[in-house]
Homo-oligomer: A and B are copies of this chain.
Amino acid sequence: MRPDQTAVNWIAVDWGTSNLRVWAMGAEGIIGTASSDDGMGQLSPDQFEPALLALIAPWLGKGVTPVIACGMVGSRQGWHEAPYRAVPCPPLDRAGLVQVPVQDARITLHLVPGLKQMKPADVMRGEETQIAGALALHPAFDGVMCLPGTHSKWAQISAGEVVSFQTYMTGELFALLSEKSVLRHGMTGKGWDDAGFEAGLSAALSRPDRIGAQLFSLRAEGLLAGLSPEQERARLSGLLIGVELAAAKPYWLGQPVTLIGDESLCQLYARALSVQGVEARLLPATECTLAGLASLARPLETTS
């Protein structure tokens, strides 16, 4: 999409470790979108501005366009550090935005800070924007949000503030175990098996303390009992999500959960929660990210 430059009020940026995604925002919402694999992890400090301009230059006009970016771009290894804000606090705060000097006079750039929790120690960057977006879409929300992913986050939300949160390395463990460990031999391909997922989930939820033994059992059952690659893969997913749910029990026990993230992953979490009698509502991640950034953009649009 190549929108009319004069219609672009501001630019939304989600800049993670592996990807850069940008949206041209007009009065009625999204009017253009682009992405690249210039993630924070691949760039040195002086490469950030060119990587951004490579995507957004077609949207820039004669005036100054505000750009607001969330995600790992604001980490110490990113473009410029946007120091964590400490919970309990609202997920976003205009006063916490960090303006970064840029070479190109056609833009201003603001980075969104992540959140930190001192005890137990925890951090997030990017998810605070999705949480704020979910709150913008559902202002009366009070309760528990879960953002499944590489590093899944569980957050307790009350009166518009993130009260506490907890991170689980579930997605990263799944990738490492299914692609780099001895278990990879038994789970070639991308196949899936619902019964395998449920078996893993139930094993991990009933005996999460036995996860150390349950993992190698996958390999052994593949060798001895002819477990199929689909079954092994789905059971590994069930085991890891089950261990996460076991540890996150104080968050979801007896409460509905709002899931924000990749839809098929959220569906898995919703199924796992429903086995525990917990109702889940799904919100799409991108919609939340944009709603969160938009809540910060409004004053910038009028003042820039």
Contacts and interface: CB of A to CB of B under 8 A. Distances in A.
**Pairs of residues from A and B, 8 with the lowest C-beta to C-beta distance, nearest first:** A208-B209, A121-B220, A167-B216, A121-B221, A212-B247, A168-B212, A210-B247, A176-B176
Given A116-B224, A176-B180, A182-B151, A212 B123 contact: no
B151 A169 contact: no
Contact of A120 (B169, B217, B219): B217
Nearest to A243: B212
A27 interface: no
Contacts of A122: 216-217, 220
Contacts of A4: none
B167 A213 contact: yes
Contacts of A177: 176
Contacts of A167: 213, 216, 220
A26 B34 CA distance: 72
Interface in A75-125: 84, 116-118, 120-123
A258 interface: no
B121 A168 contact: no
A237 interface: no
A contact patch SS? helix
Contact of A209 (B117, B118, B209): B209
A78 B148 CA distance: 40
A180 B180 contact: yes
A123 to B, nearest CB: 5
A31 interface: no
Given A167-B213, A211-B247, A212-B246, A118 B176 contact: no
